[in-house]
Structures are given as structure tokens and as C-alpha cells.
Amino acid sequence: MTEPRISFAGRLSLAFGSFFAILGNAELAAGVRRLRNGETIAPVAPAAPAAPQPPAPAAAPVAKPAPVAAIEEASPQSALQLLGLLQRNARFVDFVEEDIANYGDADIGAAARLVHEGCRATLREHFTIRPVRTEAEGSRVTIAEGFDATAIRLTGNVVGAAPYNGTISHRGWRVEDVKLPKLVKSNDAKVLAPAEVEL
């Protein structure tokens, strides 16, 4: 069965929701990276316990494999802080939590414009974001051997070894600097926006 087309507002909501889910969950982020690199994610069956083996004769020393990168659990504090800033400046959570099924595209577009402006101002105030590649989208480039696979994702017909010749379909984004406000210990970062009671 084919998936129904997702509207612009639905895609916007999905993109922002995925952004914060990935920020707060290192395991999810690793899974997304594997999917973007074209790897399949299959459930791993538990291995059967091995039968005891007699000791093997001593073998010649073998070079140690490169250490596997340690996986660290991400602290949710920074993600909660950014989400709070987006709510304060762009009413982001209000927008995403609103049921927009009964609104027309023009109404959603007008609301998305306000959310976009607030989100953009927040990102520019607290992050220095630069493109990964400086060439314009659509430019032909050569990707040399030893390229950074976390910064460049090859798509399409990837055959053989580098160098690869291709066209930039997205320049990518890299954060160069983060300037989040310092947190007060008494502040509960889980409260993204206080409830308002008018007297």
C-alpha cells in the first residue's frame, strides 16, 4: 500500500519532531545515521551459548583492531533548553501540538511563516551554522578518497571506490558555534512554557 502524501505542515511538524527526538536520543541518532548511509537495520537474534572449547595452541600476535567509538548518552538539558527557546520566540510547540486538519493551506501557511521567522531568529541568535559544502546546489564535484562520511552522504548509484564524481543535491549544514544561555539550577528545563492564568 502506498503512503499518502504528507502536506507541507505535516512535513514541517515531522521534521521538527524528528530533530528534537534525535537531539535527545543518541541511539535513535545512530539509527538515523545508519539509515541515511544506506544500511539496513535488522533485529539481531540472540546468539546461542557456545559450547566450551579446548584451549587453542598459541598463535602469532595479531594487530589489534581500531577501537570502536564509545556511545554516550546525550543529556536532555540542552535539547529542552533549545525547545524552550523555540517555544518562547516562535510558539513552536503550540504550532506542532495544534490539530491543523481543519485549517486551510492559506491559514497554515500564514502560521508557518510566523513560526519560521521565530525559529530562524532563535537559531541565528544561538548557533553559528554554515554549509558543509560551499558550492551551489546542482554543481558537479569530485569526492576524494578518505572523505568524511559523517559530513557527506553519497546517494544514487554508489559503485566502486573513491574518487566519486557527482552533483550536490544538498549542501548540508554544520554547527560551528553554540551560544545557549547558562542554566540556573533552580530552573526546571522540562517546563517549556509556564501555564498562564489571567486574573
Q: Mind listing the pLDDT tens digit for each residue in 139-154?
A: 999 999 999 999 999 9
pLDDT of residue 11: 62
Coil, helix or strand at residue 17: helix
Instruction: Quick: pLDDT tens for 88-108.
Output: 999 999 999 999 999 999 999
| Length of the chain counted residue by residue | 199
Every domain of the chain and the residues it spans: 8-40+72-132
Mean pLDDT of 109-138: 94
Task: State percent of the chain over pLDDT 70.
Answer: 72
pLDDT for 70 equals 73
pLDDT at 123 over 80: yes
* CA-based nearest residue to 79, from 9, 130, 28: 28
Expressed in percent and rounded to 5, the helix, strand and coil fractions of the chain are 35, 10, 55
